Amino acid sequence: MRRKMGFCGALGIGAKLPCVISLVGGGGKTTAMFLLAVELKALGKKVLVTTTTNIFVPEPWQCDEFMLEGCSGVDTLAARSSGTITCLGNGLIDGTPSKVKGIDPAFIDELRCAGHFDCILVEADGSKHKPIKAPAEHEPVIPSTTTLVLGVIGLDCLGKTVSEDVIHRCGLFCGLTGKTPGEQIDREGIVRLITADKGLFKTAPAASRKIVLLNKADTAELQEQAMLIAQELAEQKAAASCLIASLHQEEFFTAPCLSG
């Protein structure tokens, strides 16, 4: 079941990179974004990391340049060197100097058209550090030029009680999945969230590729549960393919519905 590969290989990213990758959901989006950025940098790519919501100020090892100019102009981001990561925000949040304001998605679309970067990685959703979430009416904020949407779910939610302690926007989750507060979060609920029209991939561009990242598969039991979720998605012919991972261990696992 375990496959030794890098993140790009696990996502089925070949020589032709998807230009804009947007990450939604919960349970490891930021970790996934910077892990992928570092791997792309090692491949000699010019990478932009940004957000349409809010993220924490990056650690020094996570980027080569940190800019807070926001949408000051596409040309200010030209002439970046190969094998570098640039992190872009729209200033710091007042009263929270450790958090960065998001960028207008239309500006990200302009950057994509300008071609200054080989790949743009966008954290397009917030989850209050919870492993799973349902999107509100205004979420997620995905740039229209996104070519790959990575929907992240933390498998540590399995078996936990349906509550706001575990699920961001618990009421919306219940409406989408038919679950009620006090029940356990199970595979069925996760599959329903993934496949619902207003679920995990809500607002994803129709032409974009969609991959579910089942993160925190840190034990054999959770890996088995993730495989069962992947099998159910395959049986339902879900629009999204599936990747199982333990990001903090940088391990990726085969899944029956992952397509190249």
pLDDT tens across 56-75, in order? Answer: 888 888 999 999 876 677 88
Q: Is residue 260 part of a domain?
A: no
State pTM to two decimals.
0.93
* Rounded-to-integer distance, Cα 234 and Cα 231, Å: 5
* Rounded-to-integer distance, Cα 228 and Cα 256, Å: 10
Q: Is residue 216 part of a domain?
A: yes
Residue 243 contacts by C-beta under 8 Å, 6 or more apart in sequence? 10, 11, 211, 212, 213, 214, 252, 253, 255, 258
CATH number, domain containing residue 247:
3.40.50
* Rounded-to-integer distance, Cα 227 and Cα 243, Å: 9
Cβ-count burial 54-87 (b if 16+ within 10 Å, e if not): bbeebeeebbeebbeebeeeeeebeebeeebbbb
| Structural domain containing residue 169 | 18-253
DSSP letters, 195-254, are HSTTSTTTT--TTSEEEEEEE---SHHHHHHHHHHHHHHHHTT-SSEEEEEEGGGTEEE-
In this structure, of 95-109, 138-152, 209-223, the range with the lowest mean pLDDT score is 95-109
Query: What is the per-residue pLDDT across 232-258, written as a single tens digit (0 to 9) for each?
Result: 999 999 888 999 999 999 899 866 554
Q: Is residue 198 part of a domain?
A: yes
Q: Is residue 188 part of a domain?
A: yes
Share of the chain above pLDDT 70, in %: 93
* Rounded-to-integer distance, Cα 86 and Cα 111, Å: 13
Q: Is residue 210 part of a domain?
A: yes
How many C-beta atoms lie closer than 10 Å to residue 236's C-beta?
12
Predicted pLDDT of residue 82: 92
Mean predicted confidence (pLDDT) in 217-221: 94
Q: Considering the chain, what is the average pLDDT of its residues?
A: 91
Count of domains forming the chain: 1
Predicted pLDDT of residue 218: 94
Report which residue type is found at 72: S
Q: Is residue 11 part of a domain?
A: no
Query: What is the per-residue pLDDT across 93-135, written as a single tens digit (0 to 9) for each?
Result: 876 778 888 999 999 999 999 999 999 999 999 999 999 999 9
Q: Is residue 4 part of a domain?
A: no
* Rounded-to-integer distance, Cα 171 and Cα 55, Å: 24
Predicted pLDDT of residue 13: 83
* Helix (H) / strand (E) containing 86: strand 84-88
